[in-house]
Structure 1
């Protein structure tokens, strides 16, 4: 049984749970996020099972919760180890401190950008000094992509079709894809320039203080 079959069977099972389906969906999505399992098929499945409105809400809640769990694991299980490793590198600490001050903007921009791997980023932010509040609030950057994938999944209306990777699209879906790509590209450029400037400023301050 391959991964697509597992997803298809899981989505079918969720669909058969009735009112409990939403809870099962959120729990499974959480586990997938923490275990580095791509959530794209689950997001598409959310659209097929729950429709655009509720599907988007459930996926956003599930993705945010899963990302937060991964963030906390990264912070409390590996942060101390990483902190010890960089203790002798004050320049890195200066950059980390500077990034923490702009945490919300950086998390928001990276969530808008498809370039940054979602699951890996969750753990990555955990070992920085970005606050939990900024991290959670920055998750609103997932909303455009979430709605797009849920909408495409709703077009299928057939879980088996999603499991097989055959998801139909229309002109509106294609337009949405291009909008997300453009927004993602702009966000990628913006966060790259932004972090570079923050790092440069932090290094300058570190050198002056040293």
Structure 2
């Protein structure tokens, strides 16, 4: 079954490459099953805030390719975030209010002032961790449909950048390939991402005030 292979012989480039090729062969043999398993695992990781989403995203780019992986990760991450938001709204409301009282005040003020655009800004440049945004959003007045589409659109740029990096990493055959133009572009985009999102967030906060 896909995603069960681990590099027992260590994490050398050769062993990682061999396991990547084995995963790709399995995906080619059972594409629908492989995509479904990957999608389910990603939803679970996102909904429960299990560490490893970034690695899972890179893996998706390496074994599924950019277009298919973008579809899978975009919808899986949004579904997972939405499930966490619904759990907060209907099951964990009292606990979230007690645990994150200070942060809740900031989010409520931001949503009251800017509506869904505040959530969009948080997704672009997380003022709070991913899991906290999901939990706090559940206690706001944001509707389910608005929460879904804002989250999906706002998270898409980072998703594509990470998947592209995973695709470039998947093409490495030797350490010299790290200096290839494609790899350098992918790494540059990863480095620029936090700077760009911070700039966008500062622009948004200036405009909204």
TM-score where L is the length of structure 1: 0.69
1:163-196: CA deviation from partner (whole Å, max 9, x where unpaired): xxxx95722113322442232112332455578x
Counterpart of 2:47 (choices 34, 38, 48) is 34
Per the alignment, residue 189 of structure 2 pairs with 176
In the alignment, which residue of structure 1 is the partner of 2:71? 57
Measured after TM superposition, the shift of residue 156 of structure 1 is: 2.2
How has the CA–CA distance of structure 1 residues 156 and 127 changed in structure 2, closer, same or farther, with 3 Å as cutoff? same
C-alpha separation in 2, matches of 1:116 and 1:67: 14
Hey, what does 1:207 align to over in structure 2?
Answer: none
- 2:119 is the counterpart of 1:104: no
- Confirm or deny that 1:118 pairs with 2:136: no
Kindly state the Cα deviation for residue 43 of structure 1 after the two structures are TM-superposed: 0.5
Structure 1 SS opposite 2:91: helix
For the aligned residues, what is the CA RMSD? Answer: 3.7
Measured against aligned partners, the alpha-carbon deviations of 1:78-129 in whole angstroms (never above 9, x if no partner) come to: 235667x7xxx9xx88983762463321111111115532222111211222
Q: Is the 8 A contact 1:64 1:136 kept in 2?
A: yes
1:138 and 2:150 correspond: yes
Q: Tell me if structure 1 keeps the 8 A contact 2:66–2:163.
A: yes
Distance 1:149 1:94 in 2: 29
The answer to whether the aligner puts 1:153 opposite 2:134 as a matched pair is no
Q: Deviations over 1:124-183 (max 9, x none)?
A: 21122222222112111111100010011111227xxxxxxxx95722113322442232
State the SS of the aligned residue for 2:92: helix
**Structure 2 residue ranges without an equivalent (≥5):** 1-5, 8-15, 172-176
- The residue matched to 1:29 in structure 2 has which SS? helix
Aligned to 1:161: none
TM-score normalized by the length of structure 2: 0.69
Could you list the runs of 5+ residues in structure 1 that have no partner in the other structure?
Answer: 159-166, 198-210
String of CA shifts for 1:40-92, please: whole Å, max 9, x gaps: 01111110111011111110010011011011001111235667x7xxx9xx8
Paired residues in the alignment total 181
Mapping for residues 40-51 of structure 1, pairs under 5 Å: 40-51=54-65
